[in-house]
Chain A
Amino acid sequence: MTSTQGAVGQSIRRLEGRAKVTGRAQYVHTLRLPGMLHGKVFRSTVAHARLLGLDASAARALPGVHRVLVGQDILAVMPDPHYGPAFHDQPVLALDKVRYVGEPVALVLAEDPHVAEEAAALIVARYEPLPAVYDEVEAMDSTAVVHEVLKPAGTFPDLKHLQGKRDTNIALDYSLRRGDPDGAFASADHVFEHRFRTQQVLHVPLEPFVSAAVPGEGTLTLHTASQSPSFVRIEIARLLGWPENRVRVQVPYLGGGFGAKLYIKVEALAAAAALIVGRPVKIALTMEEQFFTLTKHAATLRIRSAVTREGRITARECEVWWNGGAYADIGPRITQKSGFTAPGPYDIEHVRIDSYALYTNLPPAGALRGFGIPQLVWAYESHTDMIARELGIDPVEMRRRNILREGRPQATGTVMRDAAIEQVLERTAERMRWSEAFDRGSGTRRRGRGIAIGFKASVSPTTSVAIVNIYADGSCALYCSTVDMGQGSDTAMAQIVSEVLGIDIDRITVVHPDTDVTPYDMATLGSRSTFHMGNAVRAAAEDARSKLIALAQDVGVSVETTPIGEIFRRKYGMQAGNVVGSGSFVPAYTPTDHHTGQSDNVTPFWMIGATGVEVEVDTETGQVTVNRLVNVGDAGRAINPAIVETQLSGAAIMQLGFTMTEQMRFRDGQCVNPSLADYRIPGILDIPAIIDNERVDATQSSGPFGAKGVGESGTFGVSPAIASAIEDAVGIRLTSLPITAESVLRALREQQGRPLQAD
């Protein structure tokens, strides 16, 4: 480790701190462009219908309205206006059909956003209703079919077999087979089977979705709040039939992302509108409209285990139905990438997994901080605890007997490396003082505690590219397309450059994503940036360093003893020139076998996270208070320990909301609580009195300076730990999220033999 200010391992302050505390940080939401029109979306009010016609005459007649666009208008610039990362199934504006309540049907453009909003309310659509399906399990064999024919994007080889498939809502069926589960179940001492459910929830970035498109001469610039600028450029270019170089995507800071701002959201609509009218167009969604754009997958999970008398799990069978909503978005990847970890971080010889991505007539579901993992952990950790209780084994001990240890194969056959599962479990138990006596409360206030652990494979195969540009005065810039949406990536990436080049952090700038300038990156998602982009940045900085060394040799000085500025002056006679280094990173990967789901290298690294909680339950009201929240994760060696801890606790508190308060409620496919008044995200009063965060002492040997991603790990264990703590306190087991005072009280009254009436 060097003494460079800001190098790897130091908890330095974030680079953009000053801009953020003075309100001067730039977001697309507050961007204004000369001559700009504002777009307001007219949305479907029915869940599934043929679109018979639109009457926009009153909207067009409203003074100040520049233009009203409908689906057919988009064809002028996008001959096939269907987009999506896994399936090309989502139209820019509805064409012949609508598939969920809230789907964009028309766009009003006006200089004054209030005029556009008023005009959008004057549009009338005529529909012929079709049967709709909302439940993911019913969608398996429902006569209501959301898409007549499947249209996989062709990007992913494992989706190719779905091309042209008709009359099904199954967008992907992923299966894994290992060993002989049937034999193991037949000879088991005990067999346990449970079913779990998670609800639809929302990302709620405080900066809602927003894009602004600026047409040029045969070019287009998009300013967009996106986590995936490279994908946006490629997809918009594809839709337009243009080469990539004519589309420029620029991304400043994001006011939160959490997986919502990936792929195409309002970018295609803004791009098409701007090209059609020849003026800049900005589409800024409201908080309410976020509820009609992208959700987290609700899921139903069935899990069955064969267990020996001693509590060893010998076989496990998992079935998962993912409610993908009306458009696939990245759902099929979640079904596959998360599906294979459905048995949990346990060493189980015989495994069968079936994981289904399903279309329904609800808003599309996509990635949300964990990419399906929190849903799976909810099921397998609740299940593990229920088995332990049934067998009279301590929950931590039950996990010790089954934990997946270093060097052992996971369900896919991939051998676990640099995965501190055991250590994370043990540290969580220690911080919870698990073996010590615990005050269980009395009277109507009962206390309990619970613990849960989860793991996640990183996304693969993916590519990151970075460029480091050393200036002639020894300051430098990093060009990379990782999006800093609050996770602190600018700071962490700059620290890697600082470490390699020995340049102090205040002389390093991170150039924000601009696809004309910053090189390709798959996307900022799945906690992949620190590892993937971090490796690319390290390679770019090392490349720049080699070139700087060569330059120093060229002018007869040593890079160790000569200031960088002096090397440049000797070479160019003045403060001039650059040294540009580049680096890319593509991890090795073996695709899973289509029939067995097996792979000898399914991920470049594993993320591990565990949570321990202490709760107090008011038995008269069902109110649950989380008094203590312990989050332990394996982040490898942290680039910036303080930021890692903030990520751990931020993720856990977000998952606390998904566990206790957050739920999109639907009636006939219509979300009936699309506002922060009726959909409650955690506030400062909701956070537990004690929050402990810990990074275990671990190293990811393939990561940059031993580091790996941590943005999602804090979410994994929260929900099942709380459910287990409630059972520990009052003896009831909840298997559906969210866990509200009402659901707890209902279960308590059930237990007492005096159930509450249904509502």
Chain B
Amino acid sequence: MGTTRTLRFTLNGEPVTTEAPSHWNVVELLQNRFNLYGARESCGQGLCGCCTVLVDGVAVSGCLSLAARVDGADVRTIEAPAATEDGLDDVQQAFIESGAFQCGYCTPGFVLMTRKLLDECPQPDDEDIRHYLSGNLCRCAAYPEIVAAVRLVAQRRATRG
């Protein structure tokens, strides 16, 4: 079934090289070649955000992106450890403290998008948060807790200066 091609890219800070069938998407590439399962296919249409990964700093739906897209790119997934003592960044910490998840299936996508949001807009209001995260779905509907978690991070960063 189809051809394979060689992909060279940076994955969570490490340079990697691998062979992958041309028809694989980014989720399959990460799961089948690198045992990274944090980006998960759910809706298969780029609507739920469960498969979110950052490619050259841009959030993409891994289920809709062919693996070839990451050739030469800088790819970051939820598994990239934070440079903190416990390996969690302040966004992950706030999600835990705010109880901003239930089943956890969509959580990696929300964490990655929250990081992007706060990079682009360090002090978002509720409207900003809702609009930025509107491409991610949480069927358990922990949305109020997610908004609270984002606010908590923004507040802490502001206090820290």
A interacts with B: yes
Q: Which of A's residues lie within 8 Å of B, judged by CB? A: 13-14, 16-25, 27, 29-30, 32, 63-64, 112, 114-115, 118, 204-208, 253-258, 286-288, 485-488, 642-643, 646, 649-650, 653-654, 675-677, 681-685, 687, 691
Return the contact of B40 from the options A27, A114, A485 (Cβ within 8 A).
A27
Docked-complex contact A24 and B102, CB < 8 angstroms: no
Would you call B154 an interface residue if the criterion is a C-beta within 8 Å of the partner chain's C-beta atoms? no
Return the contact of A24 from the options B38, B50, B129, B131 (Cβ within 8 A).
B38
Provide the bound-state CA to CA distance between A369 and B98, in Å.
24
Residues of B contacting A: mostly:
loop
User: In B137-158, which residues have CB < 8 Å from any A CB?
Assistant: 137-147
Return the contact of A650 from the options B38, B45, B50, B140 (Cβ within 8 A).
B140
Docked-complex contact B103 and A684, CB < 8 angstroms: no
Instruction: Report A256 CB to chain B, min CB distance, Å.
Output: 5
Docked-complex contact A684 and B104, CB < 8 angstroms: no
Q: A13-B96, A206-B40 are in contact. List 18 more A-B contacts (CB 8 A).
A: A14-B96, A21-B107, A22-B78, A22-B87, A23-B38, A27-B105, A118-B1, A206-B42, A255-B104, A256-B139, A256-B140, A258-B139, A287-B43, A646-B142, A681-B139, A684-B138, A684-B146, A685-B130
Docked-complex contact B103 and A643, CB < 8 angstroms: no
Provide the bound-state CA to CA distance between A255 and B146, in Å.
17
Would you call B133 an interface residue if the criterion is a C-beta within 8 Å of the partner chain's C-beta atoms? yes
Docked-complex contact B40 and A676, CB < 8 angstroms: no
Contact mask for chain B residues 90-107; partner A; CB cutoff 8 A; 1 contact, 0 none: 001001110101111111
A207-B42, A646-B145 are known contacts. Are A13 and B97 too (CB-CB below 8 A)? yes
Across-interface contacts of A30 in B (CB, < 8 A): 31, 37, 40
Would you call B88 an interface residue if the criterion is a C-beta within 8 Å of the partner chain's C-beta atoms? yes
A207-B103, A288-B44, A684-B146 are known contacts. Are A22 and B139 too (CB-CB below 8 A)? no
Provide the bound-state CA to CA distance between A630 and B50, in Å.
29
- B136, closest chain A residue (CB): A684
Across-interface contacts of A676 in B (CB, < 8 A): 43, 45, 47-48, 137
Provide the bound-state CA to CA distance between A681 and B129, in Å.
19
Instruction: Report A489 CB to chain B, min CB distance, Å.
Output: 11
Provide the bound-state CA to CA distance between A654 and B133, in Å.
18
A-B contact pairs, 16 of them (CB 8 A): A13-B96, A13-B97, A18-B88, A20-B101, A21-B96, A22-B87, A24-B37, A27-B40, A118-B1, A255-B103, A256-B105, A256-B139, A646-B145, A650-B140, A683-B137, A684-B129
Across-interface contacts of B88 in A (CB, < 8 A): 18, 21-22
Provide the bound-state CA to CA distance between A14 and B133, in Å.
23
Instruction: Report A268 CB to chain B, min CB distance, Å.
Output: 24
Would you call B70 an interface residue if the criterion is a C-beta within 8 Å of the partner chain's C-beta atoms? no
Return the contact of B105 from the options A13, A16, A21, A206 (Cβ within 8 A).
A206
- A688, closest chain B residue (CB): B144
Docked-complex contact A23 and B42, CB < 8 angstroms: no
What 5 pairs between A and B have smallest CB-CB spacing? A23-B38, A486-B103, A255-B105, A20-B104, A486-B102
Provide the bound-state CA to CA distance between A687 and B37, in Å.
29
User: In B16-40, which residues have CB < 8 Å from any A CB?
Assistant: 23, 31, 36-40
Docked-complex contact A253 and B48, CB < 8 angstroms: no
Docked-complex contact B130 and A487, CB < 8 angstroms: no
Across-interface contacts of A207 in B (CB, < 8 A): 40, 42, 103, 105
Across-interface contacts of B1 in A (CB, < 8 A): 63-64, 112, 114-115, 118
Across-interface contacts of B87 in A (CB, < 8 A): 22
Contact mask for chain B residues 102-127; partner A; CB cutoff 8 A; 1 contact, 0 none: 11111110010000000000000000
